[in-house]
Structure 1
Amino acid sequence: MSEQCCGSHNKKNIKEESCCSSGSSASVTNEAVAKETGCCSSSETNISEPADSCCASSEEAATPLMNQTKSCCSSDSQTNEGSAAESMNFRVYGMDCPACAKTIEKGIGSLQGIRDVQVNYGTARMQVTAESAAAFEPVQNELKKLGYTAEQMNEKRNLKTYTVEGMDCGSCAKTIENHMRLNTSVQSVNVNFSTGKMKIEHTNSSDEIIKEVSKVGFKAALDSSRSSNQPSPSVKSNENGWFIFSGVLIAMGFAGSFLGIHPLLSSFLYAFAMIISGYKPVKSAFYSIKSRSLDMNVLMSAAAIGAALIGEWLEGATVVWLFALGNLLQNKSIEQTRNSIRNLMDLAPPEAWIKNGADLVKKPVEEISIGEVIFVKPGDKIPLDGEVVKGESSVNQAPITGESIPVDKEAGDTVFAGTINEHGTLEIRVTKLTEDTTIAKIIHLVEEAQEQKAPTEAFIDKFASIYTPVVFVIALLLMILPPLAGFGTWGDWFYKGLELLVIACPCALVISTPVAIVSAIGNAAKNGILIKGGTFLEKAGAITAIAFDKTGTLTEGKPKVSKVEVLEGTEEELLSIALTLETYSTHPIAKAIADYVKSKGIPSQEGDSYSNIVGKGVQATVEGITYYAGNLALFKDMNPSLEQVSKRVMDLQNEGKTIVLIGTDQKLMGLIAVSDTIRESTTSAMKTLTENGIRETVMLTGDNTGTAKMIASEANITRYFAELLPEDKVNAIKKLQNEGYKVAMVGDGINDAPALAASDLGIAMGGAGTDTVMETADIVLMADNLDKLPHTIKLSRKALAIIKQNIWFSIIIKVIALALIFPGWLTLWMAVLSDTGAALIVILNALRLLRVKE
């Protein structure tokens, strides 16, 4: 680790955040950084580095993760050179394992003018440092040669997002990309089939881009979070009308063969139907070939035209019509997954009420500034994040956190855009602009997550890119070689070759993973869970042990009074004196006692001569008598009789409670036990996790063994590690991994950074209240409790199961179809059904993930 973090001067540069500040000790507070660099994630790592091995100042260490322009660990000469260097960041697509990152680093690093390359597999990001801007030009071409694609991430780019309708397979996205890259006005383009989005940098107009996309057979529209992405009803009805008309023509031609109609008329009807249904795929096939793509449109068009050439008009027409039907049904099904995110966009209203003189007027949220006060009426959605300045109400936060129970809000409380004000009118001071609200960040992060390929998806895409051209060549050889060798007729083998062409496109296989991942991530987002990508979804599905930080995760993290024991007098007298003593103290335990007494409605007494006794407690005079509140050591100094309470205090302390004794220098009135209480959701969550296949639930705590044992028993934890220092938690994680477990770590997302980095999966709680947590963890539970964790594991396991089902089903269908070709049992229309039908079944199976409930 020491070699990786702030190592010798001849090592490669590493990111500033991964280094410790010069001459001082630095805390790792960002899991993304810890995961990316591996820095300071082991208890064996010395996180305090000497000044000569780490050159970053504290200001440099605060530089944002992907915007650094120099390294922190280079020698002086390197630092001087680095001052003239330029840095550029890319998002890389196609990596399916950490070895890919190393391949890219070596490949790009060999280019002339490139000084340093850092590729992070987990975040799919690449940072390139070069001598000049010109050195960046060959980077993307070199990536393509290596088998990957990338998009530049610098904010100054004129990158626009379009929604694309009509894609039913990953090969469609590839066709659009290849076609757009032939346009000299396009600098970069990335099309994501799963989300139906195209991100493109271009110098020409948006209308020209939309026109270019339409040439390939798809519809594009400039993306707007406030506008519907659906095509106009008239366009859809026209398409459906022509589709139905072509089906009627085929039915008429088929019926005519039984009614004695001349065969030429039937063939004419079939040909007319082929032209109507086949115009779009043939047009798309033309541009696919032009852009050197081999997608389903090419294969299906070749099969249909080939059928017509050998006089199989009914077969050809049926093939094209079934292909159109399959696309129609697939598009309709896939839109359901894409709508899971579009529905999130509609949560926050587009307008807000503000005061204009004596009247309330509506104003677009885009025009509202930070600090303005908005009014939210009962039953309305809150349009922007803010702080309540006046009013009380219950707010339904389910759209953000997934919590079903409304949360009471009053002046000083934070509220989120998209949540629902249920009762009273609220006046809210805006704290975030519309593009920075929590719901906007959720949408952005979810869309980013859906665009990242999971390892399984990336592998299948690579497999498909090899499988399709290989089968295409085999189909051509099948048409030519057997009849040349004298085996059968040209017509028979040509027909078999056409069947193989239809089977050559692995649509169902390619679509099996992305639709499942998009559906699962959409379901999670709707339930207050952020899964940062398919990689982490797959990891969550394979987890066998979950480790929890105790304070603030399993417990509330706030001390509360758990027991009151009276030794002399009444409980009311004891609590009244306790309130008097603790009212002016700022200690968390004092505040917990004061809040408890106030909640009982017991008043304090008149006191004076308040004094703090350092390390022991407080004192005050009430009606001429000096009272004390403090620990056992305080009262031992005054020598009151402690025989009856000393053992009791020790017993309670062994249960993890902090004891405050109340009394005078002559007698003890009683004791108050304060402890960090277990969250209400903890016990039920642990039970459900065990039911969902988690073999070990583990607590990591700095408490003594007795306390840890008691809390573990109360919380249904199967195992615990006690008396841990922060760095010891990493060793506990590694111990579990060495025992063969796939370990997830659940913490608050910041303080537990080393343990989160060492685990196989980092899960953070309370994302709705902390932007840092939302940005850094692999999975974020938006609510500040564990209620959603079992659903996360259940959903991930379900997603993995469905992905496996889809993959095996797709493969088996292809094998069966291939086996039926040679006996002559397979027809062209059956081959089409085996492809489009299988793809549709795979999609419908994946859509079940949208309906998985807690």
Structure 2
Amino acid sequence: MKEYKVKGLSCPNCTLEMESKIKELDHAGNSQLSYTKGKLIIHENVNLTKVQDILSTENAVIIADDEEHTHIGMNREKWLLIGSATLFFVALTLDFTLYNSFFVIPIYLTAMVISGYKTFIKGLRNLVKFTFTIDTLMTVALIGAVAIGEWKEGTLVAILFGLNEYLEGLGMEKARNSVEKLLDLAPKTATMIKNGMEKLVPVESLQVGDVVLIKAGETIPSDGVVIEGKSSVNEAAITGESLPVEKESGESLFGGSINNEGILKVKVTKAFEDSSLAKILHLVENAQETKTPTELFINRFAKYYTPFIMIFAALVTIVPPLLFELSWEKSLYQGLAVLIVGCPCALILSSPIANISGITRNARNGILVKGSVFLELLGKLNMLVFDKTGTLTKGEPHVEKTIVYDDSLFYPVVAAIEKKSTHPLAKAIMQKVEPLVPHLEDATNVRAIAGQGLKAVVNGESYWVGNEKNLQHLEMLEEVKSDIQKLKKEGLTLVIVASERHILGIFGISDEVRPESRWVIQALDKVGIHKTVMLTGDHEQTANKVAKQVGMASVYSNLLPEQKAEKIKKMINDGNIVGMVGDGINDAPALATANVGIAMGKGTDSAIDTADVVLMQDHLGKLPSAIRIARRVNRLIKINISIALSLKAIALLLTIPGLLTLWIAILSDMGATIIVTILSLTVMIERKHKT
């Protein structure tokens, strides 16, 4: 399958019709023509000339140079509109100065043809097939206007409808371009080192194990690991974080990051199509294609709405002359105005541009939303459930409290015993004590005692490092017993250091709470998430301690993964729309059960694959922003739908006293479309919020 960019797709329904026709060609059964992406995916054996013929019926074209065609296409439409508008004003001036309209009618007709010929041709074709679209409505309206001699208003209808379509195309193009800016993050070439020689190669050709050279200012072509050099790297394209990250030998890199200074030699660990950047771009592109419940409703509504408008227009035309002796000419005029008011342009556009803008805005912040449906749900959440370990906490042990009974021996002994251990608790202890011990002794005869800890010899004396079971050879003082109970009540894991005669001291170790966790919970409350819950497999004391630190009222502890999923299922059954926040590696059942699964993991494969929303940062800081953007999109879509329907309803009500004119009809339709498009694009504008 090959992918081509297509310009000129100005109508979702027309795009679907063209896709159906393309699929009828030989080898084209699996073809896809995307309105939102402006792309065609098709088998390489399909006759492109025939495809282009189908696309040309809607003035669309396959292009090689995106920017050049955009300028040419948009300029052509613009100049046609300017030309027809100029002719219209010339005709209007002559209309007021000449008594004979014989010379004016050809000018009106020329202006009408220049701006409305595409709509007219498509509408006639649809009428023959009894397909009722926007173009069908406009064609009937134009024919009617000419039939009753309303040259002036018929021409204005054609021009304003052309302007309407131009602005729609401009709005959708703006939304598409915002996505394409993300796609431009992917580098096209890389400098590969092979047999000591540098060679410029396409990034698509890079394989696992290849070595590439990345100079200052260059983009890292794919995920890899530094094997030589030191530099700071801008990872904003992946994580949304603007601060540079220092990288040196042995550290991993994301494809799409930018090397700020120095030269890095990098070993590729993933082919480009499997890299974090490629996955992000793929997800953002495909996210546009999903339909939300709101969009599906609008599509179903529009399907029945257009025939209804045509029937209503027919009734407005026929009933008044038959029952109320109104002139046929005036009734036909009112019926034509109803057809124009009935164009569902604004209604159809009320959702997709806002959703694309929201998805792209979040992606720029390092937040991947896998589809419009998840963006809508994210904005509807009223409850967020958090995993504890690795989500609210760092998932790494650290020494929270220290009680020392023997100042001279405690730190030197524990440093001597733990310095060679790879156990996570030992690493946490060494981070605490290493700065306090100027000279590290060597421990001998170090041996592990299953379920208890370590026993070793330091300077000829035996020492124990471990839990309470490691102290069976001692009779503990009441003071020590009291301290142990106190630390355990605080939910701390204990590491006790003892000699053959007495206890030297105690470390109270905990999983450190992330510094942003507390203010994130507060920020979520401000954006409307008032119900926050913590689910954890840890014991009750530890769970309650973390919940208190982060300001979370509800907590459930001692839960297995399947029990977490059951809790979430109950919350949903109670009428909540629930989001589950986890690390993307554990708690897969809970993430899958929630209405929206939100994973954090700084771009790990499991995080991207498991969740509906992915926080590419290794913290929760961007979560309130993601929800705020989603809520804003949902709010704008409701406003858009209200504007689209309200303006049409007001215009249609004017038919009762007979005040609806073609001018009012086209202005109500175009006004709604312009307002809807502009409001949708405001999602892309950055706003500063206090948290």
TM bracket (short chain): over 0.9
Residues 341 and 639 (structure 1 numbering): CA distance in 2 closer, same or farther, change over 3 Å? Answer: same
- Give 1:577-616 correspondences, 5 Å limit: 577-598=413-434, 602-616=438-452
- Cα displacement string for residues 653-687 of structure 1 (whole angstroms, at most 9, x for unaligned residues): 22222121223111322222221101122111111
Moved more, 369-378 or 817-826: 817-826
Q: Which residue of 1 aligns with 2:461?
A: 625
Give the length in aligned residue pairs.
688
Q: Which residue of 2 aligns with 1:62?
A: none
- Give 1:76-475 correspondences, 5 Å limit: 158=1, 160-180=2-22, 186-200=28-42, 204-221=46-63, 228=66, 231-260=69-98, 262-289=100-127, 293-355=131-193, 360-475=198-313
- Cα offset, 1:457, TM superposition: 0.5
Alpha-carbon distance in 1 for matches of 2:391, 2:470: 33
Q: Which residue of 1 aligns with 2:535?
A: 700
- Cα offset, 1:763, TM superposition: 1.4
Q: Which residue of 2 aligns with 1:539?
A: 377
Q: SS at 2:66's partner residue?
A: coil
Q: Which residue of 2 aligns with 1:779?
A: 613
Q: SS at 2:340's partner residue?
A: helix
- Give 1:679-758 correspondences, 5 Å limit: 679-758=514-593
Query: What's the C-alpha RMSD, in Å, of the aligned pairs?
Result: 2.4
Instruction: Calculate the TM-score normalised by the size of structure 1.
Output: 0.76
Residues 162 and 380 (structure 1 numbering): CA distance in 2 closer, same or farther, change over 3 Å? Answer: closer
Residues 289 and 229 (structure 1 numbering): CA distance in 2 closer, same or farther, change over 3 Å? Answer: farther
- Cα offset, 1:198, TM superposition: 4.2
- Cα offset, 1:402, TM superposition: 1.5
- Cα offset, 1:484, TM superposition: 4.9
Q: SS at 1:702's partner residue?
A: coil
> Are 1:791 and 2:630 an aligned pair?
no
Residues 459 and 603 (structure 1 numbering): CA distance in 2 closer, same or farther, change over 3 Å? Answer: farther
Q: SS at 2:110's partner residue?
A: helix
Instruction: Calculate the TM-score normalised by the size of structure 2.
Output: 0.94
Alpha-carbon distance in 2 for matches of 1:597, 1:378: 39
Residues 736 and 389 (structure 1 numbering): CA distance in 2 closer, same or farther, change over 3 Å? Answer: same
What is the identity, as a one-letter code, of the residue corresponding to 1:212?
A: I
Contact (CA 8 Å) 1:188, 1:202: kept in 2 or not?
no
> Are 1:674 and 2:509 an aligned pair?
yes
Contact (CA 8 Å) 2:412, 2:437: kept in 1 or not?
no
Q: SS at 2:281's partner residue?
A: helix
What is the identity, as a one-letter code, of the residue corresponding to 2:427?
A: K
Q: SS at 2:29's partner residue?
A: strand
Residues 650 and 837 (structure 1 numbering): CA distance in 2 closer, same or farther, change over 3 Å? Answer: same
Alpha-carbon distance in 2 for matches of 1:852, 1:292: 46
What is the identity, as a one-letter code, of the residue corresponding to 2:496?
A: L
- Cα displacement string for residues 120-179 of structure 1 (whole angstroms, at most 9, x for unaligned residues): xxxxxxxxxxxxxxxxxxxxxxxxxxxxxxxxxxxxxx4x54444334443333443455
What is the identity, as a one-letter code, of the residue corresponding to 2:36?
A: S
Q: SS at 2:191's partner residue?
A: strand
Alpha-carbon distance in 2 for matches of 1:214, 1:777: 40
Residues 486 and 198 (structure 1 numbering): CA distance in 2 closer, same or farther, change over 3 Å? Answer: farther
Q: SS at 2:654's partner residue?
A: helix
Residues 600 and 216 (structure 1 numbering): CA distance in 2 closer, same or farther, change over 3 Å? Answer: farther
- Cα displacement string for residues 494-538 of structure 1 (whole angstroms, at most 9, x for unaligned residues): 211211221222111111112221111111111111112222222
Alpha-carbon distance in 1 for matches of 2:230, 2:401: 32
Alpha-carbon distance in 2 for matches of 1:207, 1:767: 45
Which of 812, 819, 832 is matched with 2:666 structurally?
A: 832
What is the identity, as a one-letter code, of the residue corresponding to 2:273?
A: E
Moved more, 410-419 or 700-709: 700-709
- Cα displacement string for residues 64-99 of structure 1 (whole angstroms, at most 9, x for unaligned residues): xxxxxxxxxxxxxxxxxxxxxxxxxxxxxxxxxxxx
Moved more, 476-485 or 296-305: 476-485
Moved more, 487-496 or 477-486: 477-486
What is the identity, as a one-letter code, of the residue corresponding to 2:547?
A: A
Alpha-carbon distance in 2 for matches of 1:423, 1:287: 60
- Which runs of 5 or more residues in structure 1 are unaligned? 1-157
- Which runs of 5 or more residues in structure 2 are unaligned? none
> Are 1:820 and 2:651 an aligned pair?
no
- Cα offset, 1:477, TM superposition: 4.4
Contact (CA 8 Å) 2:588, 2:610: kept in 1 or not?
no
- Cα offset, 1:725, TM superposition: 3.0
- Cα displacement string for residues 340-363 of structure 1 (whole angstroms, at most 9, x for unaligned residues): 221111112211123366664432
Contact (CA 8 Å) 1:217, 1:284: kept in 2 or not?
no
Alpha-carbon distance in 2 for matches of 1:833, 1:183: 41
- Cα offset, 1:753, TM superposition: 2.0
Alpha-carbon distance in 2 for matches of 1:653, 1:732: 27
Q: SS at 1:560's partner residue?
A: strand
Contact (CA 8 Å) 1:683, 1:716: kept in 2 or not?
yes
Q: Which residue of 2 aligns with 1:93?
A: none
What is the identity, as a one-letter code, of the residue corresponding to 2:553?
A: T
Which of 586, 593, 596 is matched with 1:761 structurally?
A: 596
What is the identity, as a one-letter code, of the residue corresponding to 1:446?
A: V
What is the identity, as a one-letter code, of the residue corresponding to 1:263?
A: S
Contact (CA 8 Å) 1:210, 1:221: kept in 2 or not?
no
Contact (CA 8 Å) 1:179, 1:287: kept in 2 or not?
no
Alpha-carbon distance in 2 for matches of 1:452, 1:278: 32
- Cα displacement string for residues 611-660 of structure 1 (whole angstroms, at most 9, x for unaligned residues): 1122111122222122221112212x121543322221222222222121
- Cα displacement string for residues 764-783 of structure 1 (whole angstroms, at most 9, x for unaligned residues): 111502x2321231211122
What is the identity, as a one-letter code, of the residue corresponding to 2:38?
A: G
Q: Which residue of 2 aligns with 1:80?
A: none
Alpha-carbon distance in 2 for matches of 1:734, 1:327: 46
Q: SS at 2:378's partner residue?
A: helix
Q: Which residue of 2 aligns with 1:52?
A: none
Alpha-carbon distance in 2 for matches of 1:341, 1:174: 21
Alpha-carbon distance in 2 for matches of 1:297, 1:180: 21
Q: SS at 2:176's partner residue?
A: helix
- Cα displacement string for residues 550-580 of structure 1 (whole angstroms, at most 9, x for unaligned residues): 111111111122233321124xx53332221
Residues 185 and 700 (structure 1 numbering): CA distance in 2 closer, same or farther, change over 3 Å? Answer: closer
Q: SS at 2:13's partner residue?
A: helix
Alpha-carbon distance in 1 for matches of 2:277, 2:392: 26
Alpha-carbon distance in 1 for matches of 2:673, 2:435: 61
Moved more, 541-550 or 591-600: 591-600
